[in-house]
Amino acid sequence: MTQTKGTLYKGSGGMWSWVGHRITGVGIFFFLLVHVLDTSLVRVSPEAYDAVIGAYKNPIMIIGEIGLVGAIVFHAFNGLRIILVDFWSKGTRYHKQMLWAVMGLWVIVMIGFTARHVMLFLDGWGGF
């Protein structure tokens, strides 16, 4: 056999939800770090702030924002699931069902958000 590496551990939903939770948590952290910096520009120079924030209106940023909201929504719902696993005495028995609920809620919220966000973008951010 030429394959020299061992295989990946085949964990199920519980393991992958944790992987997702950590990736989204760290991702949100780095976004907020940059976002605090670009927002604080307003105190240095309102023009520079407008220029940087204006960049959020570009189509690539729209996709990025959908990704960001997707990450936050997953992290938030799954965070509530973890809190239930931690503090509800039956939480460990229902962790799989709760993960399905997290994914269902995620899909619903993301359909709503994406529709509105893309609509606002196509309208040229009237009112923003």
Partner 1 sequence: MSTPTKEAAEPASKIDMKESGGGGEVPSFEITLQVRRYDPEFSDEARWDEWQLTMYGTDRVLDALHKVKWNIDGSLTFRRSCAHGVCGSDAMRINGRNRLACKVLLKDLDTSKPIMVEPIKGLPVEKDLIVDMEPFFQSYREIMPFMVNNSPAPTAERLQSPEDRERFDDTTKCILCAACTSSCPVFWTDGQYFGPAAIVNAHRFIFDSRDDAGDMRLEVLNDKEGVWRCRTTFNCTDACPRGIEVTKAIQEVKRAVLTRSM
Binding site for partner 1 (CB under 8 A): 1, 3-4, 6-15, 17-18, 82, 85-87, 91-93, 95
Which pair of tokens denotes residue 31?
A: 């976004």
Task: Give the whole-angstrom CA distance, residue 15 versus residue 64.
Answer: 26
Q: Is 83 in the site for ligand HEM (CB under 6 A)?
A: yes
Q: Which of 15, 26, 111, 115 binds ligand HEM (CB under 6 A)?
A: 26
Question: Which of residues 95 and 117 has its CB atom nearest to ligand HEM in the complex?
Answer: 95
Q: How many CA atoms lie within 13 A of 49 on its CB side?
A: 11
At how many degrees (to 10) do helices 95-122 and 13-44 cross? 40
Contact window for ligand HEM (CB under 6 A) among 58-66, 80-88, 100-108, 112-120? 80-88
Residue with tokens 């949100």, as numbered in its chain: 28
Task: Give the whole-angstrom CA distance, residue 113 versus residue 68.
Answer: 11
State the binding partner of 10 from ligand HEM, partner 1, none, CB within 5 to 8 A by kind.
partner 1
Within 2-94, residue ranges assigned H as helices are 13-44, 46-54, 59-87
Q: Is 105 in the site for ligand HEM (CB under 6 A)?
A: no
Binding site for ligand HEM (CB under 6 A): 21-22, 25-26, 28-29, 32, 75-76, 79-80, 82-83
